[in-house]
Structure 1
Amino acid sequence: MFRSLILYSQILILCLLSAPTLATQPIETHTQEGLRWPLDATRRITSTFGEYRSDRFHAGLDFSINGNIGVPCFAIDDGYISRIKTSFNGYGRVIYLTLHSGDIAVYGHLDGFEGRVETRLREEQLRQGRYSVELWFKPGELEYQNGDIVGYCGGTGAGAPHLHFELRTPRNEPYDPVLAGFYYDDQSAPYVRRVSIRALDGDSEVESSMKPLVRSVEKNFAAPVKFYGRVGISAQAHDYQQGGWSRLGVQELSLYVDDELRHRTVLDTFPYDLNRHSRLDFDYELGREGMRKFRRLYVTPGNELEFYDEGLPGGVLDSRELGVGFHQVRIEVVDHRGNRSEMHWPIEALAESRIPLASEPDTIPDYLNHSHKPLDFPIEVGIVGTTAIINLPSVPDSISVRNIFTASPAYLHPKRLVPSGNGSWATRAQLSMDHSGPTMFSVLIEDSSGTVYQNHREIIILPLASGKDVTYSVPNSGYNIRFEGYGQPWDIVAEMTVEEPEDGTEAPILTMYPRDYPFLTTFRLLLDSESEPFDDQAVMVYRERPDQDWQFLSNFREQDGYRLTAKVFSFESFSVVRDTIPPELFNATPRDGIAFASTKPRMAVSIRDEFSGLDIENCDMRLNGESVIWIYDPDADRMYFEPW
C-alpha cells in the first residue's frame, strides 16, 4: 500500500564523523594512454559494455571488489566533479567526473565520497531533510588530479558490492571503456551457445511455422533447418574472463552466408534516448520465453542504433534471393580483448511455402452452403503481426480427411488447410485492420464419405495502428478498455481474452496478446467503469501468467474516479483489485531497553508490503520525534539510520 511509514525510537546518540578507508596494494596504475585505472583492488570484470539488461543496455564495466566495501576509487584523469547523486536504487551513490577532455567518468554504487564531496552532500541532505538528493558543480569547485581518491566502492542502489564504471562523451553518450585503453586480462575465446532463426513476415516460415526456432550449438555446429521467405538469425554468445566466473558479453558479432559478410554488430557506443531499442537489438520475443541475450544479426524496422555496419548487404535472408538449396551460415564473435571464435550452420532454402498465405478465396465446395455435424476438435488461432495462423493440431482418428476449409470470418474468404507435419493442418490469412471485436473462426472437415463436420473458436481481435486510439466495450461486464498513444513502427492485430473476475479481483481479467511484442514506447491503458467509480483502494494490476501473483501497476484515476489509467510497456493480463493491507514493520534494532556501548549504533527496521509496494520516498524515520536522514536497502527491504 502506498502509505508513509514512521519508526519512533527514544535514543540519545552522539554523532562522530568518519570516512571509510581500506589500504590496498596497486596492481598496475595507468593504461597505455595515461589514464588512471579507477581502482587498484581488482581487474576482475563481472559485466561488460552493451550487455543485456531488462529493456536497456549495460553502459559500462562492472568491477568485482570481492565484497570489500570501502575500496578507494581514483580519478582517471584531471578534471572536476560536476555532479553527484544519491538514491535508493539505480546507481545508488554515484559520481560524475568531467575530465579535461570533456568526457565524463561515472562511478556508481559507491559506499561514500571523498571528504569534500561527502561534506557537500551531507549539507544538502540536511537542508532537504532526505537521503535522495542531486547536486551539480561548476569547474573550479571540486577539482581532482589524475590518481586522486574521489570515492569508496560499495553496494548502494542494487546488487552485490561492485564498482560500476562508465565513460561518456561530452554529449553524455556512453562508450566502451575498452576503447579508452581499459583492457583487462583475458585469453579465453568467446563462444556461441545457441542460435535462432525466425520468419519476418506473414508469407515466410521456418520448419512450417512462423514461430522462432532455436538450435543448440555443439562443437561449433548447429543442426540444419529449412525455411522459406524472409528470415532473420540471432545468436546467444558468451565470454568468460580467464580465471573469472561471470558470464560476459562479446564486443563484436558477424554474420556470413556462403562466405559473404552480410551483417556486423560492434558494441561501441549508444545514445541513452535509444536505450529501449535494446528490445530490437536483442530478440525480445525469445526473452519473454525465458531465452534471453539472443542478439539479432539483422536490423529490424524502427531500430535506430548505430551498432551496425551500414555498408553491408544486411542480415535479412530471403530464400527467393539466395536460391533453392543449402547455404552455409557462419557466425563469428569477438570479445573485448580481441579473442575470437566461430560457429557453422547449414540452412536450406525451400522453393515454396509449405503453408501458403492465401490471397484469393479458394474454390468453395457446395457443402459449405449446407448443414454440418458439430464435432469437438481443437482449433488454434495465433496472430503474428497482422497474419492469422489457423491450425488444427490433430484430427479425430475416426475421420478420413478429404478436405479441411475455414468458413469464417467471412472477410477472410474460405481457406484450404494443408498438412503441416505431425498430423496437423494449417493455413494463414491476412487480417483486416478495419475489423475489431469478437471474431469467429470456423473450420469444416469433409471426410471421404462426404460428411462435413464443423467446430469453431471465437477470439477478440483489436487492430492497433500507429497514431490511432482503440476502445472496446467488454460485453456484459460494465467496463470499457481503451488504448491511447500507440506509436510503434508496425501495425499489429492484438488478441484479447476476457475471463470472469476471480477471487480478489474487482473486474474481469483481460489478457492481451502477443505477449512478446517489442514495444518501444509506453502507451496508455484506460479502464472505464460504466456503473460506479473506483474507490481509493482500487488499483490496476497485471501478471504474466495465471500461476503468478498480481503485481501493482497503477492507481491513477480520471473522470471523477470512473477511470483507472496506467502506462503500459507490454501486453499482460490486467485486472483491478482493492488493496486493503497496510505495510508491515518488523525486526527493528536496537530492541527496546537494550544497552549498547557504541557511540554510533545503527537504527534499522525491515519493511514490506505484500501488494502495491512501498512509496519509499514518502516513508519516514524519526528519532525523538525528529526526522533523520535514513537509507533504504532495496535488496534487504530494510530502512536504517547511522549517525554521522
Structure 2
Amino acid sequence: MKLNKRLSLFVLSAFTSLSLAAQQTPTPGYFMFPIKPGERNYLSGSMGEIRSNHFHGGLDIKTDQRIGLDVHAAADGYISRVKQSTYGYGNIIYVTHPNGLTTTYAHLSAYYEPLANYMLQQQYEKQTFELELFPEPSMFPVKKGDVIALSGNTGGSGGPHLHFEIRDDKDKLYNPLRYKFSEIIDTTPPDIFSLGIQTLNIHGRVNNEFGRAEFTPVKKGNSYIIADTVYAHGLLGLELQTTDRYDGASNRNGTQEVTLYANNKPAYHHLIEAVPFELSRQVSQHINYEMYKRRGRTFQKAFVDDGNDLPLYNTNARQGKLSIKPDSVYQIRIEAKDSYDNTSTLSFIIKGQKPAFTKTLAKSVKQPQLGFELVGNVLQVNATDTSSTPRNVELFLGDKRYDLVPSYTKNSTSVCLYDLRAGVPDSISFCGISRNIPEFDAVIPSGKEISYSNSFLHALFSKESLYDTLYFQTKKEGDVYTIGDYFTPLLKAIKVTIAPETPITDKSKAAVYFLGNNGRGRGYQGGTWNGNRITFTTRNMGKFRVLEDVKAPTIRLLSKSKDQIKFRIGDDLSGINSFNAYINGQWLLMKYEHKTATIYSEKINKNISLSGEVVLKVKDNAGNEATYTTTI
C-alpha cells in the first residue's frame, strides 16, 4: 500500500480549514445572483456534487427550462477571459473582480455587445469556431448587475441552465453558496440513504465477515439510526451515501460536508471547498469508485484513502480509519451538512468482537467449487465443499505449498484470506480443483515509473499514474485487449503499445478505441503507428481494440436562406474532427452544437446576404473528409 503521510491536527476539538481564502468570511452582498436577481431561484446542481471524473465546481442555476435569460455580472470587474467550445463549458465568460476572485458564467447562448462582435471578428480573423481569448482589463469593464450574456445550453450541458463559479487566482473553486444568496431557499437537511463499512486489512471483519457491508438507516426526524449493533474487528473505513435538496425542488444535489465522530471525538471531516482545478479528478479516490462504476451509487468515504492528495480533509492520526479492538464499544456519529448549515445525523454502535470461526451449511448438497477475488491487498478465496467439516485450501507459491485455513464458512462456502504482499501465488487447489492465478501479471507500485511488457503489449506507468499498488491484469482475446481492471481508477494516463494480429489495410485510418467493460463502447483513443505497433495513452482501464474508420462523415442540408445555412453532420466511428465552410471561396463561420449534431452559419456582416456557392468540408478523426456543395 502507498503510505499517506498527511497528519492533520485538531485545534480545540474543531476542524481547521486548509485554505486561507476559505477561512475568510464572505462579504455579505458582495456578489449578486446572476439569474433573475432578487427573485426566487432554483438549482439543478450544487458545489461538490460527484460527477463521472470530477467534482462539480459551482452552481447549476435553473433557467425556467429555456434559453435566453439575462445573465448579470455578479460584481464590478472586467472580462478577463472568454471562450467558445463545442464541449465542456461551451460558451463561457470569466469576470475578474477587485477582491481577487473571478466569477464564471458557462453554457451561454450569446454574448452581449461589444464582446459578441469582438469574438466574432477574432473567429473570422483566425478562421476557427473554437476560440479562447484573454482581453486586456481595459477592454471590457463591467458593473455589478450589467447584462453580459444570455443563458443557454451549449457545450456539455444536459439542458438549459447557467453554470456559475467563483474561483481564486490559483483556480481553486469556492462554493458560491457561502454568500448565502437570498434567491435560494434551503431549510431542508440532507438525506442519508446508506452506510457502507469496508474492511481495510486482512484482520478486518464486519459482523464476522471480511469485505464490505451496507446498512440502511432508519429516519427519525432529522436523525438517522442503525438499530442493530454492528459487531466488527480490525481496521475499517466508513462510507456514506447522502444527497441534499433545496426547498421547493425535487432534484437531488450534493452534500458538501461530512464529519465523523467516534466516542464523541472527531475522527474525520471533509468540506468540498477550495478544490484545486487540477486535482478535481481525484474525486475517484474520494468516493468508492467501484460502487459508482458498477451500480451508479455514490458513497463518499469518511476516511482518506491512499493516494488521495485533495486538500479537503482534517482527520485523526489514522486518516479517519477506525481501529476496532475486541470487547470495546464505539458510539459512532456521522453528520452530513449542506451549504446552509442544515444538518442530518446518523448514529449507531460498533462493538469490538474478536474474529471467530463460524459455520453455516447450505440446505442442498453442493458440488465442490473454487473461486477467488481481489479485495485491496487481500486474495479472498471462496471454496464450496460438500463436507460438513470445512477443508483447507492449498496455495502454491514458487516451490512452496501453504494451507489456507478457512476464516469462516457461509452456506457451505469457506472464505480463506491471503495477504498478497507476501507474494502473488501461482495457483490454488481444493478438492481436486486447481485454479491458476494468471490475472495478476505484475504488481505495479504507485509513486514509481514502471514499465511492463508481455507477448502482446507494453505498458508504461508514470510516477503519478496510480493511487495505490496495482495488481495488473491483461488479456488478449482475438483483437480485443483487456488492460487492467475497469473498476480501478487511474490518476494520470498510462502509455500502451500493442501490435494487432489482424492485418490493417490502411494504418492512416486505424486507431485504438476504448470498449469500456462490456466491449460495446467505441471511444476514440487515437494512437501513433510505428511499423506494425501502435502506441496510445489512456486514463481508463478496460477493453481496447484497433479499428479502421474508412467511411467519410455524413452531411445533410437542413435549411438555407440569405441569412443562414444549417447542416446536420455525423460520423459512424472516430468522430468529427474539424469542419470548414466557404461561400464564394470566403471562409464562413459555422457554429457546432454536438448534442443535436448541427452546424449553422453566422455572418460577420449582418447586413450582407448570403449568396453564391457554399462548400462545406467535414473531416473525422481518421482523416476521412466529406464535401457538400450547394448554392444560395
TM range (shorter): 0.7 to 0.9
Aligned to 2:398: 410
Aligned to 1:441: 427
1:380 aligns with 2:383: no
Aligned to 2:567: 605
CA, structure 1 residues 509+433, in 2 after alignment: closer, same or farther (shift >3 Å)? farther
1:641 aligns with 2:621: no
Deviation at 1:297, TM superposition (A): 0.9
Q: In structure 2, how many angstroms separate the alpha carbons of the residues matched to 1:566 and 1:312?
A: 41
- For the residue of structure 2 that corresponds to 1:160, the secondary structure is coil
- For the residue of structure 2 that corresponds to 1:96, the secondary structure is strand
CA offsets per residue over residues 48-82 of structure 1, 9 Å max, x none? 11111121111111110012322111122211111
Kindly report the root-mean-square deviation, in angstroms, between the aligned alpha carbons of the 2 structures.
2.9
CA offsets per residue over residues 559-600 of structure 1, 9 Å max, x none? x233222222232122323333433334x3127xxxx6xx53
Q: In structure 1, how many angstroms separate the alpha carbons of the residues matched to 2:334 and 2:30?
A: 36
1:573 aligns with 2:536: no
Deviation at 1:83, TM superposition (A): 0.8
Aligned to 1:20: none
Aligned to 1:459: 438
* Structure 1 residue identity aligned to 2:589: I
CA offsets per residue over residues 524-558 of structure 1, 9 Å max, x none? 12213589778333322233333x51323423124
Q: In structure 2, how many angstroms separate the alpha carbons of the residues matched to 1:584 and 1:178?
A: 45
Aligned to 1:5: none
Aligned to 2:177: 178
Deviation at 1:45, TM superposition (A): 1.1
- For the residue of structure 2 that corresponds to 1:247, the secondary structure is coil
8 Å contact 1:77–1:147 — kept in the other structure? yes
8 Å contact 1:204–1:230 — kept in the other structure? yes
1:229 aligned to which of 223, 228, 234:
234
Deviation at 1:44, TM superposition (A): 0.7
CA offsets per residue over residues 594-627 of structure 1, 9 Å max, x none? xx6xx534x3222332322222xx2233445543
Structure 1: which 5+ runs fail to align? Answer: 1-29, 356-374, 446-452, 502-506
Matches within 5 A, 1:277-296: 277-296=282-301
CA, structure 1 residues 584+168, in 2 after alignment: closer, same or farther (shift >3 Å)? same
Aligned to 1:142: 140
CA offsets per residue over residues 491-532 of structure 1, 9 Å max, x none? 222233443x2xxxxx2442533x322322111122135897
Q: How many residues align?
A: 558
Aligned to 1:492: 470
8 Å contact 2:85–2:131 — kept in the other structure? yes
CA offsets per residue over residues 203-240 of structure 1, 9 Å max, x none? 43445555432222232233554433211111111111
CA offsets per residue over residues 151-185 of structure 1, 9 Å max, x none? 11111112211111111113221111122343521
Aligned to 1:100: 98
CA, structure 1 residues 174+417, in 2 after alignment: closer, same or farther (shift >3 Å)? same
1:48 aligned to which of 26, 46, 50:
46
Point out the more displaced range, 263-272 or 339-348.
Answer: 339-348
Q: In structure 2, how many angstroms separate the alpha carbons of the residues matched to 1:624 and 1:216?
A: 67
Aligned to 2:331: 328
Q: In structure 2, how many angstroms separate the alpha carbons of the residues matched to 1:312 and 1:337?
A: 30
Q: In structure 2, how many angstroms separate the alpha carbons of the residues matched to 1:213 and 1:544?
A: 27
Aligned to 2:581: 621
* Structure 2 residue identity aligned to 1:495: Q
CA, structure 1 residues 283+411, in 2 after alignment: closer, same or farther (shift >3 Å)? farther
CA, structure 1 residues 317+185, in 2 after alignment: closer, same or farther (shift >3 Å)? same
Deviation at 1:348, TM superposition (A): 3.6
Q: In structure 2, how many angstroms separate the alpha carbons of the residues matched to 1:423 and 1:45?
A: 51
* Structure 2 residue identity aligned to 1:169: D
Deviation at 1:345, TM superposition (A): 3.0
Deviation at 1:97, TM superposition (A): 0.5
* Structure 2 residue identity aligned to 1:414: Y
- Normalised TM-score (structure 2): 0.81
* Structure 1 residue identity aligned to 2:342: N
Q: In structure 2, how many angstroms separate the alpha carbons of the residues matched to 1:92 and 1:568?
A: 24
Q: Which has the higher contact order (CA 8 A, sep 6+)?
A: 1
CA, structure 1 residues 508+273, in 2 after alignment: closer, same or farther (shift >3 Å)? closer
* Structure 1 residue identity aligned to 2:300: R
CA, structure 1 residues 349+607, in 2 after alignment: closer, same or farther (shift >3 Å)? farther
Aligned to 1:482: 459
Deviation at 1:131, TM superposition (A): 1.3
Structure 2: which 5+ runs fail to align? Answer: 1-25, 359-365, 607-632
Q: In structure 1, how many angstroms separate the alpha carbons of the residues matched to 2:496 and 2:210?
A: 29
8 Å contact 2:47–2:175 — kept in the other structure? yes
Deviation at 1:490, TM superposition (A): 2.3
* Structure 2 residue identity aligned to 1:81: I
Deviation at 1:353, TM superposition (A): 6.7
Report % sequence identity: 22
- For the residue of structure 1 that corresponds to 2:88, the secondary structure is coil
Point out the more displaced range, 327-336 or 108-117.
Answer: 327-336
Aligned to 1:421: 410
Aligned to 1:365: none
Q: In structure 1, how many angstroms separate the alpha carbons of the residues matched to 2:467 and 2:584?
A: 57
8 Å contact 1:383–1:494 — kept in the other structure? no
Matches within 5 A, 1:523-562: 523-528=494-499, 535-546=507-518, 548-558=519-529, 560-562=530-532
8 Å contact 1:31–1:181 — kept in the other structure? no
- For the residue of structure 1 that corresponds to 2:115, the secondary structure is helix
* Structure 2 residue identity aligned to 1:391: N
1:38 aligns with 2:34: yes
* Structure 1 residue identity aligned to 2:371: E
Deviation at 1:352, TM superposition (A): 2.9
8 Å contact 2:266–2:315 — kept in the other structure? no
Q: In structure 1, how many angstroms separate the alpha carbons of the residues matched to 2:413 and 2:586?
A: 71
* Structure 2 residue identity aligned to 1:175: Y
1:60 aligns with 2:28: no
CA, structure 1 residues 621+141, in 2 after alignment: closer, same or farther (shift >3 Å)? same
1:563 aligned to which of 533, 544, 550:
533
Q: In structure 2, how many angstroms separate the alpha carbons of the residues matched to 1:464 and 1:316?
A: 25
CA offsets per residue over residues 396-418 of structure 1, 9 Å max, x none? x4x55563231423367412241
Aligned to 2:75: 77
- For the residue of structure 1 that corresponds to 2:309, the secondary structure is coil
- For the residue of structure 2 that corresponds to 1:343, the secondary structure is strand
8 Å contact 2:390–2:414 — kept in the other structure? no
Aligned to 2:558: 589
Q: In structure 1, how many angstroms separate the alpha carbons of the residues matched to 2:92 and 2:204?
A: 48
8 Å contact 1:236–1:294 — kept in the other structure? yes
8 Å contact 1:407–1:444 — kept in the other structure? no
* Structure 1 residue identity aligned to 2:588: V
Deviation at 1:464, TM superposition (A): 0.8
Matches within 5 A, 1:182-221: 182=181, 184-207=184-207, 210-219=210-219, 220-221=224-225
Aligned to 2:160: 161
8 Å contact 1:539–1:552 — kept in the other structure? no
8 Å contact 1:620–1:627 — kept in the other structure? yes
Deviation at 1:133, TM superposition (A): 0.8
Matches within 5 A, 1:252-263: 252-263=257-268
CA, structure 1 residues 390+313, in 2 after alignment: closer, same or farther (shift >3 Å)? closer
CA, structure 1 residues 311+433, in 2 after alignment: closer, same or farther (shift >3 Å)? closer
- For the residue of structure 1 that corresponds to 2:540, the secondary structure is coil
- For the residue of structure 1 that corresponds to 2:281, the secondary structure is helix
* Structure 2 residue identity aligned to 1:221: I
CA, structure 1 residues 460+170, in 2 after alignment: closer, same or farther (shift >3 Å)? closer
CA, structure 1 residues 628+561, in 2 after alignment: closer, same or farther (shift >3 Å)? farther
- Normalised TM-score (structure 1): 0.80
8 Å contact 2:78–2:141 — kept in the other structure? yes
Deviation at 1:252, TM superposition (A): 1.6
Matches within 5 A, 1:275-354: 275-310=280-315, 314-320=319-325, 323-324=326-327, 326-352=329-355
- For the residue of structure 2 that corresponds to 1:289, the secondary structure is helix
Aligned to 2:125: 127
Q: In structure 2, how many angstroms separate the alpha carbons of the residues matched to 1:607 and 1:433?
A: 56
1:265 aligned to which of 270, 280, 285:
270
1:519 aligns with 2:490: yes
